[in-house]
Amino acid sequence: MNLPMNEKRYRVLVLCTGNSARSQMAEGLINAQLADRFVAVSAGTQPAGYVHPQAIAALHEIGIDIAAQRSKPAAEFKDMSFDVVITVCADAAENCPVWLGQGQRVHLGFPDPAAAPPDEQAQQFRIVRDALQQQLLGYLRQWRPDAQRRNHDH
């Protein structure tokens, strides 16, 4: 993610545990639907090493291609700064690396669609995709860089 210094878009990191489902869908949604204001990457505290096929399929259904995205460790972005760090699962919120503290941090939790029984996964991925569109994109549409910084440290 090399952005020119005069780039007007804000940088978003979406963090999850495995970086295979929720955070991957969030990255794709932000980059497709909010590209005028934001550029997003996603990472995992314990990356699975792949993007879940149902995540790819769920976004493909709405015209967004995330097949080229890859599962990445959070450490890959250690030397980058972000305007917003969004955790989408409780484990990532609890284990968010300390060095990710430079941007606004917010937790927006979503259920893990990959935890559903195999015959229900496609529907669960759609449900989470739609929730991400409504809640996470809704949050970013309202987000302002001068908003009060939230401290989620316990």
- Give the CATH number of the domain where residue 25 resides: 3.40.50.2300
Maximum Cα interatomic distance, the chain, rounded to a whole number of Å: 47
Tally the domains of the chain. 1
Q: What is the mean pLDDT of the chain?
A: 88
Q: Which domain holds residue 127?
A: 10-142
Q: Does residue 70 sit within a domain?
A: yes
More confident residue, 90 or 72: 72
Q: Does residue 118 sit within a domain?
A: yes
Q: Whole-structure pTM over 0.85, yes or no?
A: yes
- Catalytic residue status for 16: yes
Catalytic residue among 96, 108, 114, 128: 96
Catalytic residue among 89, 93, 132, 136: 89
Q: Does residue 19 sit within a domain?
A: yes
Q: Does residue 2 sit within a domain?
A: no
Q: Does residue 24 sit within a domain?
A: yes
Q: Does residue 138 sit within a domain?
A: yes
In whole angstroms, what is the distance from residue 63 CA to residue 139 CA?
22
- Catalytic residue status for 145: no
Is residue 136 helix, strand or coil?
A: helix
Q: Is the pLDDT of residue 7 over 80?
A: no
Q: Does residue 5 sit within a domain?
A: no
- Reported confidence tier of residue 154, pLDDT bands at 50, 70, 90: very low
Catalytic residue among 16, 26, 66, 100: 16
Q: Does residue 101 sit within a domain?
A: yes
What is the torsion angle, in degrees rounded to the nearest 10, for the CA atoms of residue 134, residue 137, residue 70 and residue 57? 30
- Catalytic residue status for 96: yes
